Amino acid sequence: MKIIIGPASKELGEKTAELTNLEAVQVSLKTFPDGEVYIRLESSVNCEHVAIVQTTSPPQNDRIVQLAFLADAAKRNGAPNVTAVVPYLAYARQDKVFLPGEGISIETLARMLKGAGIDALVTINIHSENALKKLPFPTTNLSAIPLLAEYFVQKGFKKAFALAPDKGAMYIAEQAQEVLGGDVGHLEKQRDRYTGQTRQTGMGLKVKGQVVIIFDDIISTGGTIIGAAKILREMGAAKIFTACVHPLLIGDAQNRILEAGVEEIVGTDSIPSNISKVSLAPLIAIALKAQESG
Ligand code: R5P
């Protein structure tokens, strides 16, 4: 197996190649004056199974096209199998028709990727397990939550309260609790599908005097975490931290979260950022080694 270092995940790709001892295939990328993408493998894949490490955070549409072009290039270069390692899988939130007239974006995207030559997908904490059922190739969905929780154990916060900002993220908080060994719970969150506005409540949570870590898959605008922090402050939490797998951090999200009383925001290198303190490379390395030997 060889690892193609996608332009969106250079550092993560290099780290994974180093940990797995697999040869890295570098990529040259340029954009034509009209905005079209040109991409080329700088060395041969030599008819080996390849894994392309390429996240699809914003600018997601560009990165999806780059991924598709890389898969095609690898296949034309003789790769019998192409595994896409896409830590943050864009469009996974539109995994069903919520309102009449919508499509299922993740299904369309997956069909496009399969058409480009992708045979299997490795992703991390996909937004909904339901999205996986829409994908036309074998998938491996890994969880980075134990690694994030371990970060807080190392900081001395064993026994912290693991909080999910909504019921859907409860499985995430439970995975964190297994590492932290403290209490676990979730807020209630309702979203208006037309306006996108959310409402959160925290009835029955016993967080007074506790160190609380809010775990979520994605931090996008920060609204969910800011709302959760406000409730936690009102309920008397002693310290508030937050951790996410995919730090999209749109606009001023980071500052707004800190201003809301959160002491630290921790993310992974699923999306490179200044809070990407936990690397996914060890997790991806194990999955690729298993694919290689299986
Ligand atoms: C939603 O269900 C997700 O798990 C995240 O809570 C959400 O995407 C975060 O978005 P934002 O940061 O914009 O509130």
For the chain, the structural domain boundaries read 2-143+279-293, 145-269
Q: Say if 2-143+279-293 and 145-269 have the same CATH topology.
A: yes
- Ligand 1 atom, smallest distance to 248 CA: 12
Taking the C-alpha atoms of residue 242 and residue 240, their distance in angstroms, rounded to an integer, is: 7
* pLDDT of 294 higher than 80: no
What is the distance between the alpha carbons of residues 5 and 118, in angstroms, rounded to a whole number?
A: 15
What is the predicted pLDDT for the residue at 81? 97
Say what the pLDDT of residue 57 is.
98
Query: Residues 80-114: pLDDT tens digits?
Result: 999 999 999 999 999 999 999 999 999 999 999 99
Measured in Å, residue 244 CA sits from the centre of ligand 1 at 10
Q: What is the pLDDT of residue 189?
A: 82
Confidence of residue 202 (pLDDT cuts 50, 70, 90): confident
The per-residue pLDDT for range 265-277, each reduced to its tens digit, is 999 999 999 999 9
- 2-143+279-293 domain in CATH 3.40.50.2020? yes
Q: Whose CA is nearest to atom 1 of ligand 1?
A: 218
Domain 145-269 has CATH 3.40.50.2020: yes
Percent of the chain scoring above 90 in pLDDT: 89
Residue 128 pLDDT level (bands cut at 50, 70, 90): confident
- SS3 per residue for 184-236: EEECEEEECCCCCCEEEECCCCCCCCCEEEEEEEEECCCHHHHHHHHHHHHCC
Nearest ligand 1 atom to alpha carbon 221: 13
Closest atom of ligand 1 relative to the 168 alpha carbon = 2
Catalytic one of 2, 75, 134, 189? 189
List all residues whose CB is within 6 A of at least one atom of ligand 1: 165-166, 168-169, 216-224
Task: Specify the pLDDT at position 175.
Answer: 98
44 Cα–ligand 1 center, Å = 40
What separation in Å is there between the alpha carbon of 224 and the centre of ligand 1? 6
Confidence bin at 292 (pLDDT 50/70/90): confident
Pocket test of ligand 1: the residue of 57, 167, 218, 255 to mutate, having most ligand atoms within 8 Å of its CB, is 218
- Tell me the pLDDT band of 125, cut-offs 50, 70 and 90: very high
Ligand 1 atom 8 nearest Cα = 218
* CA distance linking residue 87 with residue 248, whole number of Å: 12
Closest CA to 125 of 109, 141, 110: 141
Determine the distance separating the centroid of ligand 1 and the alpha carbon of 36, expressed in angstroms: 31
Residue 208: active-site member: no
Residue 199's pLDDT is 82
Q: Is the peptide bond before 136 cis (omega within 30 degrees of 0)?
A: no
**Is pLDDT at 66 greater than 80 in this prediction?**
yes
Check: CB of residue 156 under 8 Å from CB of residue 221.
no
